C-alpha cells in the first residue's frame, strides 16, 4: 500500500499540471477566437481519438508491460506540451495546434488509463481496494480547486509559457517516481490467441456476465445525464440567475469540497456488505437532492447545499464501482474490460455536451420566454427569467437519474453481483477469459 501512496501522490501532482495546461489553453483559445465552439472542439478532438483507440487499447495493454506503457504514453503527451511551448516561444502557435495536441493526448490516454488500472490492482491489497475510490476523489477534487487558482496566477504573471513549464516539471516528477521507485510485478502468459480475439474477449466476458454489463451501461446513462447539466449548463445557469461570476466560483468550490468530504468518508469507512445498495441509493440521493435542488434553487446558499448533496455521494459511487470491477473481473482481462468501459463511457460525453447546449439554447430557454401552460407550470418550480430553462434541465436529470437508480437497484442481474463469491468468481472468469 505504501508504494501505491507514492504512485498516487506523484500521479496527482502530474494531473494538476495537466489540468492547469488544459485550463490555460482554454483561456488562450477563447482570448484569440471568442468562440465557444473553438473551446468545445478541444474536448471533441481528445474524446474522438480516445474512443477510437480504446477499441484495441485494452488488448494491447493486457499483452504488454504496464509500466512501460504508462511511461511511454506520458512521455508522448509531454512531447505534445513541449511542442506547444516551442511554438509559443517563436510566435507560431495557433488554435489548430491545440486540436492536434489534444488528439495526441486522447490517443495516449486510451492506453494509459487501462494500464494504470492494472498497476493499481497489483500495488494495492485486495482487502484495501475500496480505499482507492476515496483517495482518487480527494485528489481529483483538490486538483479542481487548485488548478484554476494556480493557473490564473501563473497565466496573469507570465502567460501560457509558465503554465506549460510547470506542467512539464510535474510530468518529470511523476515520470521519475514511476521509473525508479515503483516496481510493478508483471504476469506474463503464453497464448496462442490472436490480437483480434483478445480485442473482443472483454466484450464477450461482459456479454456473458449480464449483471456487470448492465451495471456498466447504467453508469453510461449516469455520465450522459451529468454531461447534460453539470458539465454543460451549470456555469451559464448560475451566472444568468445570479448575475455574478463570484457566485459560480463559490458553488464550484462547494462541489469540489463535497467531493473531498466524500473521499474522506470512503477512505475511512469500512467496506459495506451490500455494495449495490450503497451505489444506487447514493446515486438516487445525488440526483434527487442534488440535481433537483440545483434546478429549484435561486440563491448561492441553496446551490451550495445542492452541490454538496450531489458531490458527496459521487465519491461513494466511484468507490463502489472500483470494488466491484476489481473484485469481479479477472486480472488477465482487466485492461480489456476497463478499455471497453472507458470507450463506451467516453463516447457519450461529446454527445451529451452537444445535446445539452442545444437543449438549453434552442428548447428550454426559449420555452420559458413564452406564455404557454408548460412554462407557467415550470415557473412555479424554477421561477422565470434568464437561466430558468436550464434550471428545468436539472429537474429533468434529477428525476430521470433517480428513476434509473431505482430500476438498476431492483434489477435481478445487478443484484446478483452482491452475492458473487470473490475467489470462485475470479477463478471461473479466468478460465472463461482464457478460452476466448
Q: What is the pLDDT of residue 37?
A: 63
Q: What is the pLDDT of residue 436?
A: 39
Judge if 225 and 167 occupy the same domain. no
Judge if 267 and 334 occupy the same domain. yes
**pLDDT per position as a tens digit, 275-287:** 899 999 999 999 9
Judge if 205 and 87 occupy the same domain. no
CATH code for position 241: 1.20.1250
Instruction: Report if residue 189 sits inside a domain.
Output: no
**pLDDT per position as a tens digit, 369-395:** 888 888 889 999 998 888 899 999 999
Judge if 338 and 384 occupy the same domain. yes
Q: What is the pLDDT of residue 196?
A: 62
pLDDT of 267 strictly over 70: yes
CATH code for position 122: 1.20.1250.20
Judge if 149 and 215 occupy the same domain. no
Judge if 213 and 179 occupy the same domain. no
Domain termination residue (choose one: 157, 183, 209): 183
24-to-301, 310, 424 alpha-carbon distances in Å: 29, 27, 49
State the chain's mean pLDDT as an integer.
86
Count of domains observed in the chain: 2
Judge if 60 and 127 occupy the same domain. yes
Can you tell me the mean pLDDT for 242-270? 86
Domain coverage including residue 146:
1-183
Q: What is the pLDDT of residue 420?
A: 62
Give 330's pLDDT tier (boundaries 50, 70, 90). confident
Instruction: Report if residue 190 sits inside a domain.
Output: no
Structural contact between residues 156 and 14, judged by C-beta atoms closer than 8 angstroms: no
Domain termination residue (choose one: 159, 183, 207): 183
Rounded to an integer, what distance in angstroms lies between the CA atom of residue 99 and that of residue 122? Answer: 35
Judge if 166 and 301 occupy the same domain. no
Judge if 373 and 243 occupy the same domain. yes
Judge if 313 and 360 occupy the same domain. yes
**pLDDT per position as a tens digit, 23-78:** 889 888 878 887 656 766 887 888 889 888 887 888 888 888 999 999 999 999 99
Domain termination residue (choose one: 126, 153, 183): 183
Amino acid at each position: 500500500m505504501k508504494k501505491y501512496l507514492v504512485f498516487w501522490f506523484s500521479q496527482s501532482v502530474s494531473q494538476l499540471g495537466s489540468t492547469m495546461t488544459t485550463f490555460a489553453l482554454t483561456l488562450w483559445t477563447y482570448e484569440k477566437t471568442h468562440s465557444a465552439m473553438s473551446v468545445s472542439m478541444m474536448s471533441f478532438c481528445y474524446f474522438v481519438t480516445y474512443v477510437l483507440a480504446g477499441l484495441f487499447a485494452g488488448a494491447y495493454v493486457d499483452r504488454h508491460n504496464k509500466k512501460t506503457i504508462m511511461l511511454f504514453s506520458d512521455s508522448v503527451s509531454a512531447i505534445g506540451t513541449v511542442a506547444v511551448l516551442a511554438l509559443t516561444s517563436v510566435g507560431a502557435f495557433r488554435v489548430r495546434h491545440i486540436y492536434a495536441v489534444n488528439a495526441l493526448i486522447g490517443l495516449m490516454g486510451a492506453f494509459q488509463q487501462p494500464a494504470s488500472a492494472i498497476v493499481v490492482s497489483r500495488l494495492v491489497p485486495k482487502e484495501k481496494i475500496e480505499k482507492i475510490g476515496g483517495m482518487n476523489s480527494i485528489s481529483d477534487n483538490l486538483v479542481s480547486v487548485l488548478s484554476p487558482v494556480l493557473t490564473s496566477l501563473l497565466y496573469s504573471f507570465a502567460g501560457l509559457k509558465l503554465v506549460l513549464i510547470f506542467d512539464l516539471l510535474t510530468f518529470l516528477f511523476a515520470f521519475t517516481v514511476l521509473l525508479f521507485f515503483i516496481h510493478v510485478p508483471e504476469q506474463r502468459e503464453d497464448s496462442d490467441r490472436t490480437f483480434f480475439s483478445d480485442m473482443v474477449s472483454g466484450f464477450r466476458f461482459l456479454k456473458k456476465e449480464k449483471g456487470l454489463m448492465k451495471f456498466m451501461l447504467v453508469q453510461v446513462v449516469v455520465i450522459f445525464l451529468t454531461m447534460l447539466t453539470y458539465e454543460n449548463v451549470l456555469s451559464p445557469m448560475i451566472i444568468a440567475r445570479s448575475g455574478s461570476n463570484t457566485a459560480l466560483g463559490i458553488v464550484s468550490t462547494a462541489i469540489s469540497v463535497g467531493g473531498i468530504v466524500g473521499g474522506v468518508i470512503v477512505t475511512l469507512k469500512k467496506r459495506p456488505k451490500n455494495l449495490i445498495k450503497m451505489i444506487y441509493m447514493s446515486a438516487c440521493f445525488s440526483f434527487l437532492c442534488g440535481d433537483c435542488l440545483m434546478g429549484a434553487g435561486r440563491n448561492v446558499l441553496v446551490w451550495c447545499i445542492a452541490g454538496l448533496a450531489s458531490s458527496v455521494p459521487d465519491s461513494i459511487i466511484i468507490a463502489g464501482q472500483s470494488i466491484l470491477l476489481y473484485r469481479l473481473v479477472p486480472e488477465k482481462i482487466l485492461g480489456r474490460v476497463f478499455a471497453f468501459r472507458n470507450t463506451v463511457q467516453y463516447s457519450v460525453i461529446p454527445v451529451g455536451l452537444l445535446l445539452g447546449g442545444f437543449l438549453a439554447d434552442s428548447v428550454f430557454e426559449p420555452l420559458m420566454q413564452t406564455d404557454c401552460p408548460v412554462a407557467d407550470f415550470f415557473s412555479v418550480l424554477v421561477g422565470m427569467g434568464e437561466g430558468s430553462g436550464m434550471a428545468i434541465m436539472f429537474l429533468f436529470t434529477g428525476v430521470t437519474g433517480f428513476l434509473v437508480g431505482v430500476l438498476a437497484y431492483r434489477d435481478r442481474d445487478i443484484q446478483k453481483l452482491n452475492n458473487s463469491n470473490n475467489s470462485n468468481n475470479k477463478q471461473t472468469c479466468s478460465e472463461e477469459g482464457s478460452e476466448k
